[in-house]
Each structure stands twice: as C-alpha cells, then as structure tokens.
Amino acid sequence: MNRKTRATHRFRGVVAGIAAALMMFGLADLIARAFTPSAAPLLTLGQAIIPLAPPAAIKPVIALFGDNDKLVLVLSTGLGAIVVAGLIGALAVSRRRLATRLLVVAGLVPVIVIIIRPEAGAFDVIPTFIGIAAGIAVFVMLLRLGTPQTLAEAVDRPDIAPSIARGSQPSDPLSRRRFFGLAGALGAIGAVTIAAGQTVASLAQDAGAAVAKLVLPTPAKKAAAVPAAASTGVDGTVPFVTEAKDFYRIDTVLSPPVIDPEQWSLRIHGMVENELTLTMDDVLDLPL
C-alpha cells in the first residue's frame, strides 16, 4: 500500500469515526430527551466538565456569550467527542480491533458520568447504551466497506500476515463516492437525531410557557417608591433598581428544572401539628 492509498484509507477511518460519534450521541440524546432529559449524554458530560474548568476560563466565556454560555459548552463537548472519534477512526486503518475497543471505552465515559450523578436512576443509562451500540455498528460497517479488511487486521491477527505476504488481495472497499455518500447519510441521521432531541427538549419546556403566563395577584398595598437618593448617579456604579429586562440567568446548571404551576405543590410537614399541602392556586389566594 503506497502512502497516498494509506492516507485515503486513514481519512475514511476518520470519517467513519465521526459518523459513529454523531449516531452514538444523536440517538442516545433523542431517547434520553424523550424519557429522562437529565440523562442526555452531552448534557451530563458538559455538566461534569463545569466543576473542572478553572474560573479564569469560565469568566471570559460568560462575558462573551452571556446566557448562551451553556450552548457553547455543549457544542464544545460535542466537538471534542467528534475529534476523539475521528482520531480513533484514523487508528482503525491499521489497528481495527483496538480502535473499536477504544471507541467502546470512549462511549462508556458518559455512562460512568450518568451513574455517579446523585439523582441517577436505574434506567438512566439505557439511552446511552443504545447509542453506543448504534455508533459501534456504524463504525464497524463503514470500516468494513471503506477500508481493506485484511490490511486493517494484519497487525491484530498475525495468522493472516503470511497470506498478505504471498500477495493475496484485500477485499475491495467501496468507491469514494459510495463510501462518502453512505457515511454522509449515516452522519446526517445522527445530526438529525440530535436536532430532534433538542426539539423534544423544547416541547418539554411547555411548563416554562405556563410559568410565563402566570399572573400574580394585585397587592392590597403597594410598596413605597424607591427614593431618588437611593441612586448615587456616580459614573461606574450600578443603579439601585435593576430593570426586569436586564436580568438573565447565569449558573452552573445546563438543564435547570422546569416546573408546571398546575402541578406544583408545597408540602408543610415534619414537626408541625397539622400537615398541610398548598397548591399554586392556594398560594395565589393568600393575601398579598
């Protein structure tokens, strides 16, 4: 195999790794978003990275992207996973079995992160396991169809090396157009499932729309206006009162909980004479 041919096959391995990563995370994310949104692998990986990142790296990101910093983190996590998968795919040209095992190990990283979460459930890892299985299937299939089988296994299987030395021809890979067409289609399916997972997540935010429509009762007695002397008017100081439109959320939670006011309740129990449960309507009916 000359250098040009080897480079071509190595590039095909990179493409196979990228397509596998897209399928792995896309399918796992879609299933997790539909059943256990907090167990989506990209979210859990991003959430695990936040405590490890130094403040010196976080503050510029927040200053630059504002409340879009979480989206940047998730996209960066996904990009990192794609790069790792591409490198593993490049290795697969000469060490196919080793590369496949490494891809499995890489897929198990989000599984471990999901398991060690305090709120982890028994079935939270199922979507990620399904994604790993789909990603490995895509990886192995593209490698078999896109690179010579015997050349890729020569290092892993010394027993076939003599046949290669005698000049036996490796299995013919797919043409360039057919291989990249198939890899592109599989990668696109993975990307679409990621987008579909985000759509499912958006639909799950209907409770957030309900919160936005929540109308607070008119207070019986309005608070006195803030005196003008409360604001110094000195350049560089912030005003005493911040307009609601100027508030935005910056925290370390990638997937904050969304509570439907109609389902919300407050239970008062413990060392009390009479246990009490209040709904949102009960709270709104209280004097203000």
Query: Residue 2 region, left (φ>0) first, then alpha (ψ -120 to 50), else beta?
Result: beta
pLDDT in tens, 73-127: 778 888 899 999 999 989 888 888 999 999 999 999 999 988 988 877 878 899 9
Q: What are phi and psi of 260, to 5 degrees?
A: -80, 120
pLDDT band at 284 (very low <50, low <70, confident <90, very high): confident
pLDDT score of 150 more than 70:
no
pLDDT score of 146 more than 80:
no
Alpha-carbon dihedral sign for residues 44, 47, 49, 52: negative
pLDDT in tens, 11-45: 888 999 999 999 999 899 888 887 877 788 888 88
Contact partners, residue 55, CB within 8 Å, separation at least 6:
none
pLDDT score of 268 more than 90:
yes
**Which of the 8 DSSP states describes residue 222?**
P
Radius of gyration of the chain (CA): 27
Q: Is the pTM of this model over 0.85?
A: no
Determine the pLDDT at residue 207. 54
**Which of the 8 DSSP states describes residue 51?**
G
Q: Domain residues of the chain, as ranges?
A: 3-204
- Cα-based distances in Å from 232 to 98, 189, 223, 226, 243: 67, 58, 21, 13, 17
Determine the pLDDT at residue 17. 92
